[in-house]
Amino acid sequence: MRRFFLLALAAVSACGSVPAPVSPDKAGGDLSVFAAASLTEAFKAAGTGFKAAHPGSNPTFNFAGTPTLLTQLLQGAGADVFASADQPNMQKAVDAKLVAGAPRVFATNKLEIVVGAGNPKHISGLADLARADVLYITEAPDVPAAKYAAQALAAAGVKPAPRSLEADVKGVVSKVALGEADAGIVYVTDVRAARGRVSGVAIPDAQNPRAGYLVAEVRAAHNPYGARAFVDYLLSAGGQQALQGFGFTPP
């Protein structure tokens, strides 16, 4: 927890003075946003609010696991905004000079155990994920949620053996919803977005790392004014309301 706050403080401090807001008439046109899969529902809603605030803008989204998005950017994929579910992957983007300016923390999140609707295996906590009768899955090791999950499991002293490694949190939720797995660890927001198809089991705060989301304008953006305006919107009252409506917490 302390490390996250230090990273967040460093990101804010590195910004120096925040750039002046972009006027609505300059932020129009197509805008390509690369965003972590766990942001899917919230960013679609934020996109609607952004279009209302900036008439003529047309944000489109590419949602995937953060490492997948980073790879796409490194391979030259066109994007205007990059939103990461963790600091290390965003730092790789900074080191590769893919982003302009200092990334900004715009939201936080926590983990939750995702189980089948109604919790048919009666899972009550992290320790149950190591039970022989529980088919546990997780994300690929380089996915932020998998790293956070590993921290939570280590804090609980639990070592489950995952039966499969998914590309992102949505893959874990989908398999659990379909009954192809009994449980996984995703974000609180993912369980909330799939309500009715899955259920959630809370993870105690003492074992639950706080995930920080960062956003930055892509250096090679085709719409730099729109990119800056979108980043500003995420940190505005309207953007924060949209995010928190889907269970994200303030930066």
- Alpha helix (H) ranges present in the chain? 2-15, 40-53, 66-74, 87-95, 144-156, 169-177, 188-193, 224-235, 237-244
Cβ-proximal residues to 176 (8 Å cutoff; 6+ apart), any chain: 114, 115, 116, 137, 182, 183, 184, 198
pLDDT at site 39:
97
Q: Burial-class residue 104 by CB neighbours within 10 Å (0-12, 13-18, 19+).
A: buried
Distance CA 188, CA 193 (A): 9
The list of the chain residues with pLDDT below 50 reads: 1-18
Tell me if 2-109+211-244 shares its fold with 111-207. Answer: yes
Query: Which one-letter amino acid corresponds to residue 88?
Result: P
Kindly state the tokens that stand for 102: 């200092």
Q: What is the pLDDT of residue 11?
A: 43
| CA atoms of 212 and 251, how far apart (whole Å) | 7
CATH number at 2-109+211-244: 3.40.190.10
Q: How many Å apart are CA 30 and CA 9, to the nearest integer?
A: 32
Task: State the pLDDT at residue 131.
Answer: 98
Whole-model pTM? 0.87
Domain boundaries 111-207, corresponding CATH code: 3.40.190.10
Going from the C-alpha of 89 to that of each of 27, 108, 212, 233, 242, the distances in angstroms are 27, 16, 12, 22, 24
Q: What's the pLDDT tens digit per position in 80-113? A: 999 999 999 999 999 999 999 899 999 999 999 9
- Token pair listed for 113: 């155990």
* Domain residue ranges in the chain: 2-109+211-244, 111-207
First to last CA, the chain: 13
pLDDT value, residue 7: 45
